Amino acid sequence: MMGPQLAGPMELWAIRHGEVDADSIGKFIGSSDPPLSRRGKRQARAIAGVVPEFDAIIASPKIRAVETAEKTGKPEIRAVWREMDFGALEGHTLAENKAAHPTVLAGWRRGDGSVAPPGGESPDDFAARISAGFAELKQEFRGRTVGLFCHAGVNRALLANCLSMPYLAAGWFEQSYGSINILRPHDDVPVQCMNWVVGPPSATVW
């Protein structure tokens, strides 16, 4: 159990899960639940070797995030930190989705976050979900250091929030498998570290 709440802002270590199994690489993976690959498990062990002793460890319910977190400690699972639901885009490559759903991807390239894939979540709705979860964390863990094991999209939404920019504009921020971001949302420099990869690198960020 944590001691008395400390003064000052939270420090958040937002960590993308390790590499997933080969069948899922290169595809839109949000609601799907592939496990870590062998390299992904090595990445998770490497993360555990560099992170501080967290006051709390929180993870997305997806197995790839939970497996990564468990190398560091026992996580508390919170559904708000799941990846964006890609709906009909789920499980398909970028090329396949450009062919099957060109208006969705064209809308995203224009920066239109209101466009939702069939059966899925719009970028605006996803970013609002993450922003709400972030606000709760900042209040709950003031003065604490928190490890959040989640996803590339979640990390980009957190970075966008810290930098006061639209979520889709953060799509250019690389988030490699097993990457670490260190955020101090109330600091003059809210992003202390971005896309720090400490384990064996993957051949692709997808």
For residue 2, tell me if it sits in a domain.
no
**Residue 4 placed within a domain:** no
pLDDT tens figures, 152-194 = 999 999 999 999 999 999 999 999 999 999 999 999 999 999 9
pLDDT number for residue 206:
66
Q: In this structure, is residue 75 part of a structural domain?
A: yes
Euclidean distance between CA atoms 206 and 25, whole angstroms: 6
Helical spans, DSSP H, in the chain: 38-48, 63-70, 94-100, 102-109, 123-140, 152-162
Question: Does any domain span residue 112?
Answer: yes
> Domain with 97 in it: what CATH number?
3.40.50.1240
Helix (H) or strand (E) holding 15: strand 11-16
- Closest alpha carbon to 183 in 195, 169, 174, 165: 195
26: left (phi over 0), alpha (psi -120 to 50) or beta: left
Residue with tokens 């920066």: 111
Residue type at position 52: P
Number of domains in the chain: 1
Range of the domain at 88: 11-197
Summarised one tens digit per residue, pLDDT across range 20-59 is: 998 898 999 999 999 999 999 999 999 999 999 999 999 9
Q: Is residue 1 situated within a structural domain? A: no
- CA–CA separation, 49 and 195 (whole Å): 17
pLDDT digits (tens, 9 = 90+) for 59-99: 999 999 999 999 999 999 999 999 999 999 999 999 999 99
In-domain check, residue 3? no
Question: Is 6 within the bounds of a domain?
Answer: no
* pLDDT tens digits, 196-206: 999 999 877 66
